């Protein structure tokens, strides 16, 4: 009988060891190293060795490489296409991570149902009936989507060979197991092996593969970090489960930028694309309330108007509280210090709460001015006109600094019916014939003059 081969893996970072030890030397976690049985025949291929056509690739001049094949597959979903960088690339492997129940299966099933291409949806988590029930709610008439419930990669490849799908979706990578490895599904060595087989399959047949991955409680995709290095694109599906909005972003993308954002709304019949997010991110209210200001930001290539809410109140306890949701708390403290020092507002003994509505997180510095305006408005209890919006960065000496792509922001604000936008005096603006009033300011005191 062949000797059983085992190796020790750190369940946290995926490092490999020859023998057990208490602490992982690479990630320094204690008690994470576990023994896994691996048994590899000489060849692990996505096809059985006999049926594999042996191809040897030759070097080609870069000008001779045919790039027409790189035309992307249209996923029939505007948000998904944009986050991928214009559609899916042939032969690419995309990993979609996200918390349980956030809607990963819903998103990919919905895309699979809408596609014009022959799609194979492999599920190791739900039965065919359960998927059918869900599909009926989302899109009852789809004619190109095949559902397979299977967890063994060799069987999946057998079905793929028979069906020859154009796209394969795997829900989820942690449920797969390969015959070549004996450890249980979801273990580091299984995840690595199954992903390697899928990569080989994707590259050899030019079929794009979408993988769903679970995440651990600290927000990383479960399994070795190496998994993220192996795939071409890592997408993250996030959002507050209590909010209806879901945000799709790319953490890694070999074929496009990583600063595009896709926004969806969870409805009873699946996820709806939100193609004009500004309208939903600005809450509707009767009358003007103090402490609200609108920022003209840019996420990726898309301008986005978002609402900033501030609440400034006298501190009840000795130490005032500062809390920010969706905004960097250190940056909030810095802005408060600038307001105190440069504009003479005594905020040192006040509680300040800041919230970006819609549950999204912004790191565009152009939001600074709206944050300052919201704080001033709440502090003075004076409502800002709801047709004002802001786009500028605030410097340490209270100067209002220019931001990139200001013209795009101005045009978006104009499109949404804002009457005035506050921007830095130092921004070069070539726009002519705008209906919106462009208010140029250079110091934080200027803003105070306008608002209070």
Binding residues for ATP: 98-105
**Window 101 to 130, contacts with ligand TYD (CB under 6 A):** 101-106
| Binder of ligand TYD out of 98, 124, 165, 239 (CB under 6 A) | 98
Question: Closest CB to ligand TYD among 212 and 392?
Answer: 212
| Phi, psi (deg, nearest 5) at residue 13 | -115, -10
Give per-residue burial for 14-53: e unless 16+ CB within 10 Å, then b.
Answer: bbbeeeeeeebeeeeeeebbeebebeeeeebbbbeeeeee
Place of tokens 């209890």: 381
Kindly give, in sequence order, each residue whose CB lies less than 8 Å from that of residue 229, ignoring residues fewer than 6 positions away: none
Question: Closest CB to Mg ion among 10 and 112?
Answer: 112
Q: How far is the CB of 314 from ligand TYD (least distance, A)?
A: 41
The CA–CA distances, whole Å, from 41 to 4, 175, 202 equal 12, 22, 22
List the single partner that 266 binds among Mg ion, ligand TYD, none, CB under 5 to 8 Å by kind: ligand TYD
Give the N- to C-terminal CA distance of the chain in Å, as an integer.
Answer: 85
Q: How far is the CB of 372 from ligand TYD (least distance, A)?
A: 38
Cα 267–144–268 angle (5° rounding)?
10
By the rule CB under 6 A, 134 interacts with ligand TYD: yes
| Binder of ligand TYD out of 87, 165, 213, 270 (CB under 6 A) | 270
| Cα 433 to Cα 195: distance, rounded to the nearest angstrom | 55
Kindly give, in sequence order, each residue whose CB lies less than 8 Å from that of residue 258, ignoring residues fewer than 6 positions away: 249, 250, 251, 252
By the rule CB under 6 A, 97 interacts with ligand TYD: no
List the single partner that 102 binds among ligand TYD, Mg ion, none, CB under 5 to 8 Å by kind: ligand TYD
| Binder of Mg ion out of 11, 81, 105, 183 (CB under 5 A) | 105
For 285, the 3-state DSSP assignment is coil
For residue 46 the two structure tokens come to: 């996505």
| Cα 437 to Cα 420: distance, rounded to the nearest angstrom | 5
| Cα 190 to Cα 176: distance, rounded to the nearest angstrom | 8
Q: How far is the CB of 103 from Mg ion (least distance, A)?
A: 8
By the rule CB under 6 A, 81 interacts with ligand TYD: no
Question: Closest CB to Mg ion among 215 and 436?
Answer: 215
| Cα 105 to Cα 305: distance, rounded to the nearest angstrom | 30
List the single partner that 269 binds among ligand TYD, Mg ion, none, CB under 5 to 8 Å by kind: ligand TYD
Question: Closest CB to Mg ion among 248 and 294?
Answer: 248
By the rule CB under 6 A, 272 interacts with ligand TYD: no
Q: How far is the CB of 251 from ligand TYD (least distance, A)?
A: 16
For residue 147 the two structure tokens come to: 């559902």
**Where is 233: in which H helix or E strand?**
strand 233-238
Sign, CA torsion 423/429/434/439:
positive
List the single partner that 417 binds among ligand TYD, Mg ion, none, CB under 5 to 8 Å by kind: none
For 366, the 3-state DSSP assignment is helix
**Window 361 to 390, contacts with ligand TYD (CB under 6 A):** none
Q: How far is the CB of 267 from ligand TYD (least distance, A)?
A: 6
List the single partner that 308 binds among Mg ion, ligand TYD, none, CB under 5 to 8 Å by kind: none
By the rule CB under 6 A, 269 interacts with ligand TYD: yes
Stretch that binds ligand TYD, among 5-13, 95-103, 294-302, 308-316 (CB under 6 A): 95-103
Residues that bind ligand TYD (CB under 6 A): 98, 100-106, 134, 137-138, 266, 268-270
């Amino acid at each position: 009988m062949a000797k059983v081969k085992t190796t020790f893996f750190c369940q946290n970072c995926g490092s490999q060891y020859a023998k057990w030890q208490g602490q992982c030397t690479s990630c320094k976690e204690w008690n994470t190293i576990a023994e896994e049985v691996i048994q590899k025949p000489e060849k692990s291929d996505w096809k059985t060795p006999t049926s594999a056509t042996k191809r040897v690739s030759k070097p080609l001049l870069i000008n001779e490489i045919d790039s027409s094949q790189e035309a992307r597959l249209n996923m029939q979903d505007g948000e998904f296409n944009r986050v991928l960088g214009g559609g899916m690339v042939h032969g690419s492997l995309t990993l979609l991570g996200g918390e349980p129940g956030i809607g990963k299966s819903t998103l990919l099933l919905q895309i699979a149902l809408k596609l014009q291409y022959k799609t194979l949806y492999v599920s190791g988590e739900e039965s065919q009936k359960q998927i059918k029930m869900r599909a009926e709610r989302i899109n009852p008439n789809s004619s190109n989507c095949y559902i397979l419930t299977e967890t063994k990669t060799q069987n999946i490849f057998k079905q793929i060979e028979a069906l020859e799908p154009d796209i394969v979706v795997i829900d989820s990578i942690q449920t797969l197991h390969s015959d070549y490895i004996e450890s249980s599904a979801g273990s580091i060595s299984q995840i690595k092996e199954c992903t390697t087989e899928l990569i080989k399959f994707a590259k050899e047949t030019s079929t794009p593969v979408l993988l769903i991955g679970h995440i651990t409680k600290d927000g990383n995709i479960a399994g070795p970090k190496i998994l993220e290095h192996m795939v071409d694109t890592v997408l993250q599906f996030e959002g507050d489960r209590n909010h209806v909005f879901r945000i799709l972003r790319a953490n890694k993308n070999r074929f496009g930028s990583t600063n595009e954002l896709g926004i969806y709304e969870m409805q009873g019949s699946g996820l709806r694309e939100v193609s004009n997010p500004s309208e939903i991110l600005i809450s509707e209210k009767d009358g003007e309330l103090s402490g609200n200001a609108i920022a003209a930001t840019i996420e990726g290539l898309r301008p986005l108007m978002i609402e900033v809410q501030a609440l400034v109140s006298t501190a009840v306890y000795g130490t005032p509280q500062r809390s920010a949701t969706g905004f960097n708390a250190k940056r909030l403290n810095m802005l408060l210090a600038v307001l105190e020092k440069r504009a003479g507002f005594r905020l040192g003994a006040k509680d300040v709460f800041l919230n970006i509505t819609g549950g999204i997180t912004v790191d565009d510095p152009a939001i600074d001015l709206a944050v300052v305006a919201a704080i001033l408005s709440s502090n003075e209890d004076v409502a800002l006109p709801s047709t004002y919006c802001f786009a500028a960065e605030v410097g340490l000496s209270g100067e209002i600094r220019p931001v990139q792509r200001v013209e795009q922001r101005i045009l978006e604000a104009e499109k949404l019916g804002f009457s005035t936008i506050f921007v830095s005096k130092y921004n070069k603006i070539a726009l002519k014939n705008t209906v919106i009033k462009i208010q140029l300011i250079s110091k934080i005191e200027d803003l105070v003059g306008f608002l209070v």
